[in-house]
Amino acid sequence: MLRNIILMLTALGVVVTVSARIATKDDDYTNLPEPIMTRLAPLVNSDLAPDNRVKDSYVIYLRPGHSLDDHAKAIKHDLKQHIDHVYSFIEDKVVYVGIAIDKDLLAAIRGDPKVEKVEVQGSASPAPM
């Protein structure tokens, strides 16, 4: 049962940390830590072929009311050197293009609960003549 729940949560993008040890008769069960469950924002277009991607570039959609400053504090990272463009025509939320984003920074960005989704940035190739 627990295995099925963990598989279902993993499929939904939730990271589940489970720890176990053998209980003894002297254990105090009143101050147990809460299980750690982290929701990862969906990664859209992750199936794009490498030739159709802009390397290490993503479009990040923040939830309404979440500013870039709030986002940087939540992920504990200075984003100034990683922000290529902020879309000004989207009024109700912040959407930005992040560049030079390695896998650790991507995980931190996706781990911010106020990130709606992260989109792999595709490259537009000119049509063949």
Return averaged pLDDT per consecutive 10 residues of the chain, 129 residues in all: 58 54 57 63 91 93 95 94 92 94 96 96 63
- The span from the CA of 98 to the CA of 59, in Å, is 6
Entry pTM: 0.67
Here the tokens at position 52 are 């159709």
pLDDT (tens digit, 9 = 90+) per residue, 20-39?
Answer: 555 555 555 556 555 555 68
In order of 25, 36, 49, 60, 114, the CA distances from 87 in angstroms are 59, 34, 25, 10, 18
Give the count of beta carbons closer than 10 Å to the beta carbon of residue 59: 20
3-class secondary structure, 104:
helix
41-122: CATH superfamily: Peptidase S8 propeptide/proteinase inhibitor I9 (3.30.70.80)
Domain boundaries, the chain: 2-38, 41-122
